[in-house]
A and B are shown apart, each in its own frame.
Chain A
Amino acid sequence: MRSEYRFLSLASAMILLVSAPMTLLGLPGNPPDGGQASSANSKPTAGGTEHQGVMSDYYVPNSTHPAWKGAGLPITQSSSKVGNLVGNAVRGREHYRRFCIGCHGPLGNGEGENAQWIDPKPRDFTEGTFRCRSTPTGELPTDQDLFNTLERGFVTTNMPSWFAISDQDKVDLIAYIKIFSAKWKNTQRAAPIAIPPETPITADSIKRGHDNFEKMQCFKCHGQEGHGDGTSASTLTNSKDQPIRPYDFTTGERFKCGSTNTDIYRDFMTGLDGSPMPSFADQLKPDEAWDLVHYLRTLMVHVNSPERRVMIENHLQFTDDSGQE
């Protein structure tokens, strides 16, 4: 045999031999499949999960693990639809493993390896509670809501905007996260709330909005001037009993669930489930909600919004119940 081919054979044999550790340790696995037959590569133990043949917490235990809180839709039955795109949870599992597992965790419970260093904490998908929705409070979001959240991310948190991944990948992810909570299996999906057209931005609207701000006692959390320093602010916790701060309008930061007037209107009427921000759908009429939106925009002192301009042009000044401005 020519020496060259002899060498090639030797090289190939050496590569095969040294690749034996990978064979012995096993190929990487995947996150859970939502209740299907257990993987042969892992088994639960009293103190946690023993991963046979793997070395990383990215290899997820099957659904018989004691830490598993409940099964949502089985992976083969979980789907999503946004526009013309139909999501596939099996593909979504791969994307989840690539992008999401570090924070949201292999069990979808928000206890990824990075969660301990993150504030605010990652969303616990097993609760089936979502902040940014177009549906009434207590209801699951629509697939479009979840898509918008992936697209937008959550500003001032560790949840990035995922606009750079394809729309199909996002829709697949949406299908996959439905395996984590039984709500997706047991709950009838609600329709989005109706959002009427925005009322004109006038001085009167802004004044009424201020009155609603007082009437709804928004100042208790958000503070009289919207600094997020209301008397209740320091006591607020979210659904996981983690401290949470009310939004500070004066920073001009983007809102977590969208920054248009329509988005803010929707925040009032649907509430931000999982946070102390309730729904005011039963307390505010649509026109009143628009008035409140217009007033809140005036609190964003660093943003030259139409509402701020109307306020300045009309020399509007507001006092709290104590008579102070």
Chain B
Amino acid sequence: MTVSIRTKSAAVSFSVLVLLLCFFCPEPAHAIPALARKYGLPCSACHEAWPKLNNFGITFRDNGYQLGNERDSPIYQNNSYFPITFRMTPNWHLEKTNRVAVDTVPGDATSALIEQGTTSHGFDLSGLDILTIGTLYRNISFALVPSADETGAFHFESVWVRVDNILGSRWANVKFGKHELDVPEPLSEKRSLSLSGASGGYNLYHFDPIGGTDEFGLGDNQIGVELTGHSRNSYTRYAVDVLSSNSGNVDFLDNNGLPAANTYDVYLHFSQGVLIPKLGLQRFGVLMYDGRRATYSLTSGGVPIPGTGQGTAPFYRVGAYASIYLGKLNYAGLFYRGDDDKYLATATPKNLGPAGLPAGARNAIWNGAINEFDWTQNPQFVIFGRYELIRMSQQALPDGAVNVLGITSTPQLGDTDGFAIGYRWYPIMFSRAGLAWHNEYSRARIRNASPLSGQDLINQSVFVGLDFDF
């Protein structure tokens, strides 16, 4: 099928490819030999199969990366100890997309666009994490994590200081800076077992309706202040965050590189663990994110001015989850609902008022679920599998309307099914370094999202790599 409106199609193709590229990049994840070195414990003490944490690791982290043995302050470490860990994953991967808009004549931008599948494969590199995490002093913990993508372009993934056990109470800990939200532990994107492009990350966390401008992702680190508390064994946990409405970006910009608004978001999380004899620790929790994003900004000479995001519109995410252990098998399930205001969902600047909205515009609402199964045979071998689904329960536009990307609205537009399966084998289990032989296949189908024909977009990935840190 060919189209005559090349600009819109190119924009569609570019947008979709940008989205795909985001999925192509294996997510760096966190396992920290520096902490194992500090205390002389093997990685398996804190990690069920690294980077996934077990309850001892969760408690250790909740306590400000302290064991409470009166030797947590860095003054007790040898001067040569430095709390730094590097992690990277050289890999071979294959990415296949079934529908990409390509020029009929390669290299000729004036030739018509057609849809065809593409496959790319080869040896590659992941991003790099430089994890410096530990204690500045007793009951003052920190993290500084510069991260690079696979090209070596750096950003700060995490930078925070946390005052732990305020007034001697484990129910009062305050974190300040850029940090991961307190998400369900088996479903943390920073400690996920999967690394591939198509569905290695959690599609549900980053889902935004097609044609909208809300760039929030639950898996993205945010900047703000967090108050957390936990019981002694971390069976009961809570977190309250107040965050800038910038999706964790600096310089008063959001994830789209546009000016962020001077508003603040709120995140709440509560979970409760229940130990069932012979089965293991079961955990249940709820979470809620209430945020606002700008729909336009002030400009100077047509250039957006950072930090002057205007016309904020609300969005929210709510979820409930369970992490169930049946011996070596862990099932983690999350039900998640999202709601984006109609101005966000239709990319309409709010200063245009209701008249600026497309006809029939409404809030975009969706429901989704993550179902993840991990089988940890022992700390050195884990099999994982995940199925995600996202279903739009209300599209931003009526059926047949065309959004800003030139895509026709259908009831299923954007519905996603994600699937990932793989295993990790750790030849060494050590307190100085980690190594995992990682194999994974994943697939994601996005309904009616192909750039030209409006058919289903299907991405598939095969990822084989040596994931190491030291």
User: Residues of A with Cβ closer than 8 Å to B?
Assistant: 3-4, 7-8, 11-12, 14-15, 18-19, 21-22, 25, 27-28, 30, 54-56, 58, 94, 97-99, 101-103, 113-114, 117-118, 153-166, 168, 253-254
Contacts and interface: CB of A to CB of B under 8 A. Distances in A.
Secondary structure call for the A interface? loop
B378 A102 contact: no
B394 interface: no
Nearest to B69: A155
B44 A158 contact: no
Contact of A27 (B94, B381, B428): B381
Categorize the interface residue count of chain B. 35 or more
Contact of A165 (B55, B119, B381): B55
Contacts of A15: 422, 439-441, 462, 464
Contacts of B39: 158, 160
Contacts of A3: 117
Interface in B141-158: none
Given A27-B377, A164-B234, 7 more contacts: A8-B441, A12-B441, A18-B439, A28-B426, A55-B427, A164-B59, A165-B55
A28 B55 contact: no
Contacts of A166: 275, 280-281
Interface in B250-285: 275, 277-278, 280-281
B275 A113 contact: no
Interface of B: 39-42, 44-45, 55-56, 58-60, 67-71, 94, 96, 98, 117, 119, 232-234, 275, 277-278, 280-281, 377-381, 422-423, 425-431, 437, 439-441, 458, 460, 462, 464
23 contacts: A7-B96, A7-B460, A11-B441, A11-B462, A22-B425, A27-B377, A27-B381, A30-B378, A58-B380, A97-B44, A97-B378, A102-B45, A102-B431, A103-B41, A114-B40, A114-B431, A154-B69, A156-B69, A163-B233, A164-B234, A165-B55, A166-B280, A254-B70
B464 A18 contact: yes
The 4 closest A-B CB pairs, nearest first, are A114-B40, A164-B59, A102-B42, A28-B380
Contacts of B440: 15
A19 B117 CA distance: 28
Contacts of B431: 102, 113-114
A19 B427 CA distance: 13
Interface centre among A4, A114, A164, by most B CB within 10 Å? A164
Given A98-B379, A166-B275, A161 B56 contact: no
Given A4-B458, A56-B429, A160 B41 contact: yes
A27 B427 CA distance: 9
B98 A4 contact: yes
